[in-house]
């Protein structure tokens, strides 16, 4: 009885670890994609509209 319980616990912990690792990788990839998209959109807006950063600095003051 004890042995089967410990085996179940080890399997459960392994499953939890693998699930957490997969979730972490998915979140990291998603965050990377969002961060890259934000960077590219910022660069595009800056190149297409040069008045944007000036307006931003004015609104900041």
pLDDT, one tens digit per residue, over 18-60 is 999 999 999 999 999 998 888 877 666 555 555 555 555 555 5
Q: In sequence order, which residues have a C-beta less than 8 Å from that of residue 52 and are 6 or more positions away? A: 45, 46
Instruction: Kindly tell me if the per-residue pLDDT of 14 is higher than 60.
Output: yes
């Amino acid at each position: 009885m004890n042995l089967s319980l410990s085996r179940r616990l080890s399997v459960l912990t392994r499953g939890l670890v693998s699930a957490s690792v997969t979730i972490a990788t998915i979140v990291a990839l998603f965050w990377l994609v969002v961060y890259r998209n934000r960077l590219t959109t910022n660069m595009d807006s800056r190149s297409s509209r040069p008045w944007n950063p000036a307006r931003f600095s004015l609104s900041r003051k």
